[in-house]
């Protein structure tokens, strides 16, 4: 059952990945470097749209984490949704007014994005926290589809200004939000019993949810800032062209972060349930960490395919390859941090520790990158500083969970794989040959250090394929 639900999430996110391919490879091909930088600036802005619910959605996410959706009071959920709508609408109106007064197009687009995004995000969080991955997949799939269609139209109609793409994507997002609300109204009308017994949350209940959620929300915003501080620094200290090249490198990385996000979204409700049921999950968590490392280091070799595609299809972005090669090495650390560490902080209600950790990492990452900029005055060192920051976070958080503390074998495995990847990047060999060489080296290292764990991955894949066939 768990494997089947995971396949639903992975299937939708693979579709999201395919949607992202159009944005990443076709968009920079047809628009100028300046227009691509403009679009990526908007993409950078909207990563902060989730901060306008004042932590209410995150509080609900923590509150219902590990619960069964069928056991929840649907009237209670509806009342929470209305409260969220009021909170976000106030911020939307305020920011939109300021944007119109200043005649700032990007801020106007961002303001219009906030409300529909948060309405959809509320239910996506609810479905994720309660393990309703079928409903989550429908919402996510619809969102991916209505992100894809504007890109296809943009490419077919050969628009040169990315404003038209942004507007079409905003219309798509608004359509999903309206559709969701119609569905909720119809669903509510069918349930006559719930219409009779409307739930009215008390002031103390609302305050409690916001109090819990605002810590998570601030931590998430800081976390988002940590993940995007490199792009902000490139935008502040370097040219528009350099920002476009670096943003292109990040967008390549983001394609594969979709798969990491799948596991992150899927794992929270199960980690929360395991904690509530007082199950001994230490061994499982430890194995999951190693599985993530093995999978991520094998996946690093996709870089050589990306290198070949960029050299042939997007030669004007060859300059980005030096950034991509460094940023790709963050994938193993990012995978463990997102899927395991961050979810465990939330599942075990260690929110203060999560907040302190991400805050310290933001400060440290900013210091490292600013120091590198001051000394070397190069965008390349920002990518290097980002990699160093993720490695430090990986090590620090491992000491917050006894079962996940690193050991000599684990660090040896990481070091050997990083050295292998870094060395292969310096070889002047055909990229497709490098993929085979890289995978072979990773498999050899894995066979010697984590043979049992690798066999466990193969066993789980066989089981998953059997379930899929059935």
Residues 167 and 241 in one domain: no
Residues 225 and 141 in one domain: no
Residues 305 and 345 in one domain: yes
Domain boundary among 201, 234, 251: 201
The verdict on residue 208 lying in a domain is: no
Query: Per-residue pLDDT tens for 394-405?
Result: 999 988 888 788
The residue-averaged pLDDT of 53-81 equals 82
> Helix crossing, 451-469 with 2-21: angle to 10°?
90
Query: Per-residue pLDDT tens for 218-227?
Result: 888 888 888 8
Residues 45 and 112 in one domain: yes
The verdict on residue 207 lying in a domain is: no
Question: In angstroms, what CA-CA distances link 376 with 188, 226, 370, 382, 411?
Answer: 60, 21, 10, 10, 29
Residues 280 and 425 in one domain: yes
Q: Which range marks the domain in which residue 414 is found?
A: 220-470
Cα Rg of the chain, angstroms? 23
For residue 107, what pLDDT is reported? 94
User: pLDDT tier at 230 (50, 70, 90 boundaries)?
Assistant: very high
For residue 470, what pLDDT is reported? 47
Residues 360 and 390 in one domain: yes
User: pLDDT tier at 464 (50, 70, 90 boundaries)?
Assistant: low
For residue 387, what pLDDT is reported? 94
Residues 5 and 96 in one domain: yes
Residues 327 and 262 in one domain: yes
Is 163 within 8 Å of 105 (Cβ atoms)? yes
Is 347 within 8 Å of 267 (Cβ atoms)? no
Residues 195 and 224 in one domain: no
Give the Cα separation of 89 and 75 in Å (integer). Answer: 21
For residue 375, what pLDDT is reported? 92
Is 4 within 8 Å of 133 (Cβ atoms)? no
The verdict on residue 175 lying in a domain is: yes
Residues 144 and 2 in one domain: yes
The verdict on residue 376 lying in a domain is: yes
User: pLDDT tier at 313 (50, 70, 90 boundaries)?
Assistant: confident
Q: What is the tally of structural domains in the chain?
A: 2
Query: Per-residue pLDDT tens for 328-367?
Result: 999 999 888 988 888 788 777 788 888 899 999 999 999 9
Give the Cα separation of 451 and 225 in Å (integer). Answer: 38
Domain boundary among 201, 232, 264: 201
For residue 416, what pLDDT is reported? 96
Is 201 within 8 Å of 83 (Cβ atoms)? yes
Residues 197 and 247 in one domain: no
The residue-averaged pLDDT of 456-462 equals 69
Domain boundary among 144, 170, 201: 201
The verdict on residue 209 lying in a domain is: no
Residues 315 and 394 in one domain: yes
Is 150 within 8 Å of 172 (Cβ atoms)? yes
Supply the pTM of this predicted model.
0.83
CA 33 remoteness from chain centre: 25
Between 85-89, 113-117, 399-403, 436-440, the lowest mean confidence (pLDDT) is in 399-403
The verdict on residue 189 lying in a domain is: yes
Per-residue buried b or exposed e for 40-73, using 16+ beta carbons within 10 Å of the residue's own CB: bbbbbbbeebbbbbbbbbbbbbbbbbbbebeeee
Is 62 within 8 Å of 346 (Cβ atoms)? yes
For residue 141, what pLDDT is reported? 80
Give the Cα separation of 73 and 76 in Å (integer). Answer: 5
For residue 467, what pLDDT is reported? 47
3-state secondary structure 78-124: HHHHHHHHHHHHHHHHHHHHHHHHHCCHHHHHHHHHHHHHHHHHHHH
User: pLDDT tier at 283 (50, 70, 90 boundaries)?
Assistant: low
**What are the two backbone dihedrals, phi and then psi, of residue 157, each rounded to the nearest 5 degrees?**
-85, -5
The verdict on residue 71 lying in a domain is: yes
CA-based max dimension of the chain: 72
CA neighbours within 13 Å on the CB side: how many for 231? 23
């Amino acid at each position: 059952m768990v494997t089947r639900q995971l396949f639903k999430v992975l299937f939708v996110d693979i579709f999201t990945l395919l949607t992202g391919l159009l944005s990443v490879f076709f968009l920079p091909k047809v628009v100028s470097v300046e227009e691509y930088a403009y679009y990526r600036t908007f993409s950078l802005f909207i990563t902060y749209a989730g901060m306008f619910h004042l932590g209410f959605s995150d509080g609900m996410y923590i509150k219902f984490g590990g619960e069964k959706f069928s056991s929840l009071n649907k009237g209670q959920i509806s009342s929470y949704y209305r409260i969220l709508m009021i909170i976000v609408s106030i911020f939307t109106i305020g920011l939109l007014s300021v944007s119109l007064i200043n005649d700032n197009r990007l801020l106007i687009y961002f303001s219009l994005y906030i409300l529909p995004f948060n309405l959809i995000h509320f239910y996506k969080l609810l479905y994720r926290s309660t393990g309703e991955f079928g409903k989550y997949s429908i919402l996510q799939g619809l969102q991916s589809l209505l992100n894809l269609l504007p890109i296809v139209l943009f490419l077919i109609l050969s628009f040169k200004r990315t404003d038209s793409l942004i507007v079409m994507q905003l219309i798509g997002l608004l359509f999903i939000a309206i559709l969701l609300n119609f569905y909720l109204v119809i669903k509510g009308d069918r349930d006559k019993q719930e219409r009779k017994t409307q739930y009215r949350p008390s002031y103390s209940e609302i305050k409690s949810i916001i109090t819990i959620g605002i810590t998570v929300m601030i931590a998430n915003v800081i976390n988002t800032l940590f993940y995007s501080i490199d792009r902000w620094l490139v935008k502040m200290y370097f040219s528009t062209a350099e920002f476009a090249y670096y943003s292109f490198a990040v967008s390549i990385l983001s394609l594969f972060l979709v798969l990491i996000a799948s596991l992150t979204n899927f794992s929270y409700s199960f980690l929360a349930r395991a904690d509530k049921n007082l199950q001994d999950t230490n061994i499982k968590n430890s194995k999951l960490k190693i599985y993530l490392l093995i999978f991520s280091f094998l996946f690093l070799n996709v870089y050589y395919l990306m290198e070949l595609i960029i050299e042939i299809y997007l030669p004007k972005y060859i300059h980005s390859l030096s950034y991509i090669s460094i940023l790709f090495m963050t994938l193993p650390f990012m995978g463990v941090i997102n899927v395991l560490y961050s979810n465990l902080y939330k599942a075990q209600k260690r929110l203060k520790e999560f907040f302190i950790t991400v805050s310290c990492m933001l400060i440290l990452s900013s210091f490292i990158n600013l120091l590198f900029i001051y000394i070397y005055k190069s965008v390349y060192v920002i990518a290097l500083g980002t990699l160093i920051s993720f490695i430090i976070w990986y090590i620090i958080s491992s000491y917050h969970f006894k079962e996940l503390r690193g050991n000599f074998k684990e660090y040896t495995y990481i070091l050997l794989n990083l050295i292998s990847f870094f060395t292969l990047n310096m070889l002047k060999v055909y990229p497709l040959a490098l993929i085979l060489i890289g995978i072979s080296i990773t498999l050899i290292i894995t066979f010697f250090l984590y043979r049992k764990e690798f066999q466990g991955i193969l066993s789980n894949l066989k089981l998953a394929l059997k379930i899929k066939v059935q």
